C-alpha cells in the first residue's frame, strides 16, 4: 500500500468554493482583517490541533490527517501528524521535510514554483501582511449557522497562476482562523479545521527540527 504523506497530498490537491448565502452581508472586510491581525500580531507563535481533509477530484482520492500544528514567525511551521500514520512535517519558507516515525525515513523537497508559498501554509506565519499579499473579499458559501464563522476569500495578488485561492473561516467572537481551505482551479482541495488555538510567547527550536522527531 502506498504511503500517505500529508505534505504530498497537500501539494497534489491544492478547493472548490461552495456557493450560498453570506450571513454577514454588512461586514466590512477591512475591519475583519484588522481584527484578525490585532489577535495574531502581538504573539510570535501559536499552536492548534488540526483536522485536515484532502480531496483529489481527478484521482477520486480522499484522505484525512489529524495532529498538532506549530507556527512561529517569520517562516517556521511544524505539523506533528498523529493519524493515520505518525509523521512530522517541517516547513521553512519553500523547503519542507517529512519524517516517518515507523521506519525512520524522511523526504526532503521544495514547494513547486507554480504554487505561491502564501497560498500554501505560508500565510499563517505572516498574518500581518494578509491584506498586502491577498485581495480579500467576503466569500459566498453554504449556510452553516453552527460554524459561527465569517468566511473570507483570498486571491494572491502576485500569483501568475489562476485558480489558486484560500478561503478562511474566522471565528465571529475571537477572530481566530478556525478553518483554512486551500484550493486550485481543478477542484482539488485541502480543508484545515483548527481547534484549541493557543498563542505562545515562544516555541523551542526543537519543534522545527526533524532530529527531535527521533526522540
* Residue ranges in the chain modelled with pLDDT below 50: 1, 9, 11-25, 142-143, 212
The pLDDT score that the predictor gives to residue 185 is: 72
Burial degree of 143 (CB within 10 A; 0-12, 13-18, 19+): exposed
Which pLDDT value is given to residue 20? 35
- Give pTM, 2 decimals: 0.81
Model pLDDT for residues 112-125, shown as the tens digit of each residue: 665 655 556 788 99
Q: In the chain, what are the domains? A: 6-208 (2.50.20.10)
Q: What is the pLDDT of residue 15?
A: 30
Query: What would the pLDDT profile of 16-63 be if each residue is shown by its tens digit?
Result: 333 333 344 467 999 999 999 999 999 999 999 999 999 998 888 999
Per-residue pLDDT, 18 = 32
pLDDT of the residue at 65: 95
Amino acid at each position: 500500500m502506498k504511503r500517505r504523506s500529508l505534505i504530498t497530498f497537500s501539494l497534489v490537491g491544492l478547493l472548490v468554493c461552495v456557493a450560498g448565502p453570506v450571513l454577514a452581508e454588512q461586514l466590512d472586510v477591512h475591519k475583519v482583517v484588522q481584527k484578525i491581525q490585532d489577535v495574531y500580531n502581538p504573539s510570535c507563535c501559536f499552536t492548534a490541533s488540526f483536522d485536515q481533509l484532502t480531496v483529489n477530484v481527478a484521482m477520486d482520492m480522499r484522505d484525512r490527517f489529524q495532529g498538532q500544528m506549530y507556527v512561529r514567525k517569520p517562516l517556521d511551521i511544524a505539523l506533528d501528524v498523529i493519524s493515520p500514520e505518525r509523521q512530522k512535517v517541517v516547513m521553512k519558507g519553500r523547503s519542507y521535510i517529512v519524517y516517518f516515525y515507523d521506519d525512520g525515513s524522511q523526504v526532503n523537497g521544495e514547494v513547486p514554483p507554480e504554487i505561491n508559498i502564501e497560498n500554501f501554509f505560508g500565510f499563517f506565519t505572516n498574518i500581518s501582511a494578509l491584506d498586502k499579499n491577498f485581495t480579500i473579499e467576503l466569500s459566498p458559501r453554504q449556510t452553516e449557522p453552527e460554524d459561527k464563522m465569517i468566511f473570507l476569500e483570498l486571491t494572491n495578488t502576485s500569483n501568475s497562476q489562476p485558480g489558486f485561492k484560500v478561503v478562511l473561516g474566522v471565528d465571529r467572537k475571537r477572530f481566530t482562523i478556525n478553518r483554512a481551505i486551500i484550493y486550485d482551479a481543478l477542484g482539488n482541495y485541502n480543508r484545515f479545521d483548527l481547534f484549541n488555538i493557543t498563542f505562545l510567547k515562544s516555541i523551542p527550536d526543537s519543534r522545527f527540527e526533524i532530529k527531535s522527531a527521533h526522540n
